[in-house]
Amino acid sequence: MNQTLFWALFTLVVVALLGLDLGLQRRKETISVRKALAWSAIWIAFAAVFGVVLYFWQGRTASLEFATAYVIELSLSIDNLFIFLVIFRYFQVPSNDQHKVLFWGIVGAVIMRGIFIFAGVPLLRKFDWLMYGFGAFLIYSGIRFDAGSEMDPEKSSALKIFRRFMPVTEDYEGGKFLVRRNSRVYATPLLVVLLLIETTDLLFATDSIPAVLAISLNFTVIFASNICAILGLRSMYFALAGMMEVFEYLHYGLAGVLIFIGTKMMIGHYYQIPTRVALPVVGTILLISILASGLRKLKAFNHEKH
């Protein structure tokens, strides 16, 4: 398949799905769990179809690398959802406006990560010793990993700088990001929330992009896995928002994934852990943390019942 034709079709499908999503947003419908699960299934199916296409286009290795990178990116992106929940609760964002913030936040995330990937892949191909630095950083991040439950949005440096240069209204203004009053432009709390969502994703990208680079330097694999994972993040938020507290130990699993991938990068010059091994390891780490969370909640429920 021609590279230009492939990316043209990929972009066309993504834009079409985002356009449909934006159309639903303009109808100002409340996103139900059922609808969110349906959209999550659509985005996961899109990633699965892409993996099949990649298998016939570039072979089994590229397809396996994509699957591994997608699982890693998706699992690390899930932790973003905990941060989003804290931000939305702190600023008491109306449920109808959460969809709009997440939509534009994800569009911004796609652009930022595209820049990261365009810069990171050529650097690693030219200076492969950077793998050691990225690996050490991931191990360090895994050791210090926190799900963000104690995050205080008001302590954000980006927010403090923004408020220094831009006045902010006290109340929401009907879903608007900016309003004009007395010939002066004011930001609304909704724009403040969008700023925090973007800066949070930027911080998480410093972990997730190196983690994916440890799996492959194939630009198609890296970029597509990031895009597929991020695009499904908005619908996944609404699907999981009511169940966030169930995954009490998930951040331990995510920390384990970062440490494993960091170790993979550090020893890559001496021993290459095959993708067919890395994928089951990542899946097993996440599954154990999810099952442990479920058992913890079940035990607590039975204790309260008695």
Nearest alpha-carbon partner for 176 in 284, 96, 58 = 96
| Three-state DSSP class for residue 187 | strand
Model confidence at 15, pLDDT cuts 50, 70, 90, reads confident
Most confident of 137-151, 230-244, 248-262: 248-262
Look at residue 26 in the predicted model and tell me its pLDDT: 55
Residues contacting 159, CB < 8 A, separation 6+: 153, 192, 195, 196
Region 285-294: mean pLDDT is 86
State if pTM tops 0.75.
no
Distances, alpha carbon 159 to alpha carbons 85, 103, 165, 207, 249, in Å: 17, 20, 10, 22, 29
Please say if the pLDDT value at position 138 is more than 80: no
Range of lowest pLDDT (56-65, 70-79, 149-158):
149-158
The domain limits of the chain are 20-305
Using CA atoms, how far apart are residues 158 and 225, in angstroms rounded to an integer? 28
Look at residue 30 in the predicted model and tell me its pLDDT: 61
Backbone angles phi, psi at 142, to 5 degrees: -65, -40
Distance, CA of 232 to chain centre: 9
Look at residue 66 in the predicted model and tell me its pLDDT: 93
pLDDT digits (tens, 9 = 90+) for 64-117: 999 999 988 887 777 677 777 778 878 888 877 888 888 888 888 878 877 877
Per residue in 64-94, is it b (16+ CB within 10 Å) or e — as a string?
A: bbbbbbbbbbbbbbbbbbbbbbbbbeebebe
Please say if the pLDDT value at position 270 is more than 90: no
Look at residue 64 in the predicted model and tell me its pLDDT: 92
Model confidence at 24, pLDDT cuts 50, 70, 90, reads low
What DSSP character marks residue 180?
E
